[in-house]
Homo-oligomer: A and B are copies of this chain.
Amino acid sequence: MPRPSTPLLSRAQIATAALALIDEAGTFTLPGLAKALSVSPSSIYHHFPGGRESIVEAIRGLLAAEGIETEPGGRDWRRFVEDWSRAYREEFARHPRAVPLLTGQVVTDPETLAGYEAVARVLRDAGFRDETLLHAVTILDSFIIGSALDASAPLGVWADSPDPGSALGSAIRAARNEPARSSERSFEIGLRIILDGLGAIASAVRQDPIEGRPASAGRPPPTGPPGPAGAG
C-alpha cells in the first residue's frame, strides 16, 4: 500500500510547533505555522477548524498534560493546591511568551478545566462557597502566573543601584548571597501567605453555622477575608 503523500500531521504536532514559534517570536500566524511544518494552511484548518484560538487551547492542553495535576488523591486541600500551583508555575515559566495568549482567551481545554475543577472541589470541601471560591481560585491563578513570569525573568530583575543608601540595592546585593534561586523562595513564601489567608477565610466560613449550610440554602457567602482592617 502506498504511503500517504502528505506528511502525517497530528494536533499535538501542530500545537507543539505553534508553541515553538511563540517561544521564539512571541506570537504565531497560521501561514507561518504552516510553513514551519511544511504543510498547507488548509491541513492545519483540517485539524483545527476553530483556527488560531483552538490552537492556543491545544497549547494549553499540552502544558496541562505535562504535569498539571487533576486528582487530589488523598491530599488535604492545602497540600493539593500547593502541588497544583507548583506544577502550574513550572509549566508556564518554561513558556513565558505564551502566557498573555493563554490568559487572553477563555479556558476550554478539558484537561486544564479538570485541574481547576479539582482545585475548586478541594476548596469547596475546605469551606469555600461560590463567589468566594472563585476569588480564591483567581488569587492563586494570578499569583502563579505572575510568579511564572518572574521565574523566567533575568536573574537580576532590577538593575543594581550605585547609591549605597538604596533600600532596593541593599536587598538585591543581599539576595546574591542566597543559596537557592531567589524567585523560587519568593514563590514559596508568597504561596504560604496566600494559603494561610485562604485557610483563615475557609475556617471563618466553617465556623459560621449559616455559612456552613449548603450554598443553595442560605444567604450569599461573604466575599471578604477576616483580618486587620488596614486595607482601604
Contacts and interface: CB of A to CB of B under 8 A. Distances in A.
Interface stretch (A12-20, A33-41, A145-153): A145-153
Contact of A168 (B79, B100, B137): B137
A161 B103 CA distance: 19
A108 to B, nearest CB: 4
Number of copies: 2
A123 to B, nearest CB: 7
B117 A166 contact: yes
Given A113-B158, A150-B138, A192-B227, A175 B131 contact: yes
A186 B225 CA distance: 11
A26 interface: yes
Chain A interface size, under 10 / 10 to 19 / 20 to 34 / 35 or more: 35 or more
Contact of A141 (B146, B188, B197): B146
Of A27, A129, A158, A197, chain B has the most CB atoms within 10 Å of the CB of: A158
Given A97-B100, A170-B215, A134 B227 contact: no
Interface string A67-109: 0000000000011001000000000000011011101111110
Interface of A: 25-27, 78-79, 82, 96-97, 99-101, 103-108, 113, 116-117, 120-121, 123-124, 129-131, 133-135, 137-139, 141-147, 149-150, 152-154, 156-159, 161, 166-168, 170-175, 177-178, 182-183, 185-199, 215, 220, 223-225, 227-228, 230-232
- 7 pairs of A and B residues whose beta carbons are closest in the complex: A193-B197, A146-B146, A130-B174, A142-B146, A139-B190, A120-B167, A138-B186
7 contacts: A103-B149, A104-B152, A113-B159, A121-B167, A142-B150, A142-B186, A195-B230
